Chains A and B, each alone.
Chain A
Amino acid sequence: MDIWGLFFLQPVTNVLIVLSHYLADSLGLAIIALTLVVNLLILPLTIKQIRSQKQLQDLQPRMAELQKKYARDKQKLGEEQMKMYKEAGISPTGCLLPMLVQMPVWFAVYQAVMLCLAVAPEGLLKLSSFLYSWPMLRTLVPLQNDFLWLNLALPDIVLAVLVGVTMWLQQKMTTAPSTDPRQQQQAQTMLWMMPLMFTVLAMTFPSGLSLFWVISSVARIALQCYVTGWGPLATLLPARLFTGGQGKSQADSADIVIKDEPEAKSTKSSAPGTGRPGYQPDKTRVRRPRKK
C-alpha cells in the first residue's frame, strides 16, 4: 500500500466502517457522521480560511479604487496592493493555505466513501486490502447500501439536485459583489459552473458520494453563516431572518468600509442588501484596515 493509502485512505475507510456499525449498520448515517466529524476536526482551518476570504472581500472597494487609480502602472498597483494588505494585517494567500491543507482530508473521505460503497465486485475485492486486521471489521463488510429512499451505490436525481443547490448556496455566500465587470463575470462563472458540474457528476456517481457532497456543503454553509453571516445570500432571504442582528450580509461590510472612504465610493451603498427593512448590521465583526 502506498503512503496515501496507508496514512489517509485506510484510516478513514476503517473509521467509516466502524461508524456504520455503531450507527445501526447504516452506511448513510456513517457518511453523514464522518463528514461532520471531519468538519469538526478541520474547523480551525476552515474558520481561518473563511475569515481570510472575508478580510479580502472587505478590502474590495479599496482594491477597486487602486485598480482604477493605477490602471496603467501595474508595478505601482502591485506595490500599493501589498502595502494595503500590510496595513490591513492580512495575508493575500491566507485563504488558500488552509484550503490546500484541507484538500487531502476531503479526498480521503471522498475515496473512502467510494471504496466502502463497493459497487462492483472489483470494489469489494479492493476494499478487503484496506481493512485493518480487526476481526470485527471484516465481518461488517459488505455494508448495507440502503438509506432512506436511496440505494447509496446508485445515482439519485433528488440528491444530485441537492448537490447543485447546496453548492450554489455555498458559492453565493462567498461571492463578493464587484464593480469590476471582469471580476463580476468570473464570480458569476464560479457561482454557476461548479454547482452545475457537480450536479452532472452526481447524476452518474453513486448517491452515497452525493450525500457526502450535500452534507459537506450544508456544514460549510452553517459555518460560513456563523462566522461571517449570510453574505450576498442575504438578498435572497426573507428580511426577518436578519432582525436580531444574528445574520450579517455582505452588503453590511461594504457599508462600513464606505464610512471610511471618500464620498466617491458611495456607489457601493447601492450594493445588494443595503437598506433592507429591519436589517441591523453587526458592525463588531467587520475588520477595518489599520490606520497608520
Chain B
Amino acid sequence: MPRRHTGLTVKLSLLLALLVIAGGSGGCVSGMTPVGWSGAAVSDNTCFLGSGEGRLVTVNLVDEQRQWSDAMSTPSGGFFSFLPSLGGCSRAAAVAVYGTPAISGDLVYLGAYNGKVYAYDKNNLRLQWTYPPGKDDYLEPIIGGVTVADGRVFFGVSDENSDVYNVYALDALNGNELWKYKTGGKVWSTPAINGDTLYIGSFDHYLYALNTADGSLRWRFATEGAISASPLYAGGTVYIGSFDQYLYAVDAASGGERWKFKGENWFWAKPVKVGDAIYAGCLDGNVYVLGADDGREITRFDLGGAVSSSPVISGDAVIFASQAGEVFRVDTADNALTLLASIGAEVSGPLCEYDGIVYLHTADLKLHRVKVATGAVLYPISLEKPD
C-alpha cells in the first residue's frame, strides 16, 4: 500500500478506535454505568437520600446544612481491578443508590448497588451495621428501596441465579438475617407491607405475597412481563405495573386479578391512590387516571416525555415529573393539569414532598426544589461533598 495511504489507514483506524472508546463512554454515561436515582425521605425537617457519590446525605430543610456519611465500599473488581475505568461498565467510581432511605426510630436504612444494606444513626450518620456483615461480603446489586415494618427490614436483590435468594428480612436493630426467599428473577421492587404480608414484584413476571413472619409464600400472581415497579397497597388491593404494558389491580388477600389496564409502554413507577382514583405514570409519556375499583380510564394527561419517577401527593394535588425534567401538578378535584416548572435536568427517581415543596434528586448531584403552590423553582442544593 502506498505510504500516504498506509498513513491514512493508520489514522482512520485510530479514529475508529477513539470513536469506539468515545461511544462506549457515551453509552456508559447514558445507561451503562450505574449512577442511581435515590428518592428523598424526610423526618424532623431533615431530608435523607443516597447521593451519586455513594454516601447517605442529610439536608436540614430549615438552614440547608448538609451532612455526609462515609463513602460506601465497592466490591473488588477481581481480575479486572487493576484496570482503570475506560468508560467500561464493569465498575463505577462510586456506589450507586437507587432506593429511597427508610427511617425508623433512630436509624436510617439504605440498600445500595454494591449489594449491601446499611443502617446509620439518624443524627450523626455513623454506621451501625451492614448486611452482609463481612467487610468483603456483598450480595448482588440492590436496586429497590428497603421497607421497615414491625422491627424488620425487608428488601429485594437483583439476582436471578436459581440457587440464590433474592428477598430478605433482617432484624432492624442489628441486621441479623431472619429469613430469605427465592423468586425466579431479579428483584428491583421496593416491598409493600400490609399487616403480616409483604408484596413484591420480580423479573420472573410474578407479583409475590409473602408472610412477613417467616417468608413463606401466600400466593403469587402472574403477569406477562417482567416487573421492576414497586407495588402499592391500598384498600385491600395491590396495584402494580409490568413490562407487559399493563397496570394490574390484584386482590391483596387472594391474589386474584381485579382488573388490568393497558398503557402504551411499561409502567415503571409506583402509582398513587387518591380517593377512588389511581394516578399512574407510564413510560409512554402519559399519566393515567383510573377508577380504583374497576380500572376504567377517567382521563389521561400527556406529559410529553416518559414518566419513570413515582409521583407524590401534596394536599389536593398529585405531582408528577417527566424524565425531561418538567414538573406537573394534577388537581385531584377536577383532574386539571398544570405545568409547574422545568428544572432542566433528567428526573428518574421518586419525588418527595415536604411542607409544600417538591424535592427532586437528579443525577447531577443536586436536590432540586419546586414550590407546589406557585411553581417557583428554588435554587438547587448541591449534594456534593466538599473536599
Contacts and interface: CB of A to CB of B under 8 A. Distances in A.
B372 interface: no
A139 B89 contact: no
A208 B333 CA distance: 51
B2 interface: yes
Interface stretch (A103-111, A218-226, A234-242, A263-271): A103-111
Contacts of A183: 1, 3, 6
Interface in A122-178: 122-129, 131, 133, 135, 138-139, 141-142, 153-155, 157, 176
Interface residues of B, number: 56
Contacts, number: 153
B1 A53 contact: yes
A71 B3 CA distance: 13
A196 to B, nearest CB: 10
Contacts of B317: none
Given A129-B306, A138-B225, A180-B3, A203 B23 contact: no
Contacts of B248: none
A204 B89 contact: yes
B265 A128 contact: yes
Contacts of B16: 103
Contacts of B30: 122, 126
A247 to B, nearest CB: 21
Interface size class of A (residues with CB under 8 A): 35 or more
Pick the most buried of A115, A154, A197: most chain B CB atoms within 10 A of its CB.
A197
A125 B1 contact: no
A99 interface: yes
A138 B348 contact: no
B88 A201 contact: yes
Contacts of B6: 176, 183, 186-187
Contact of A114 (B5, B27, B85, B186): B27
Interface of A: 53, 56-57, 59-60, 63, 67, 81, 92, 95-96, 99, 103, 107, 110-111, 114-115, 117-129, 131, 133, 135, 138-139, 141-142, 153-155, 157, 176, 180, 182-183, 186-187, 189-190, 194, 197-198, 200-201, 203-206, 209
20 contacts: A92-B5, A95-B9, A119-B34, A120-B32, A121-B188, A122-B30, A123-B31, A125-B268, A127-B31, A138-B245, A139-B243, A142-B226, A176-B1, A176-B6, A183-B3, A183-B6, A190-B9, A201-B24, A203-B80, A204-B83
A-B CB proximity, top 8 nearest: A204-B88, A123-B31, A120-B34, A126-B31, A139-B225, A56-B1, A205-B88, A114-B27
Interface of B: 1-3, 5-10, 12-13, 16-17, 19-21, 23-24, 27, 30-35, 37, 79-80, 83, 85-90, 96, 98, 143, 186, 188, 203, 224-226, 228, 243-245, 264-266, 268, 283, 306, 308, 348
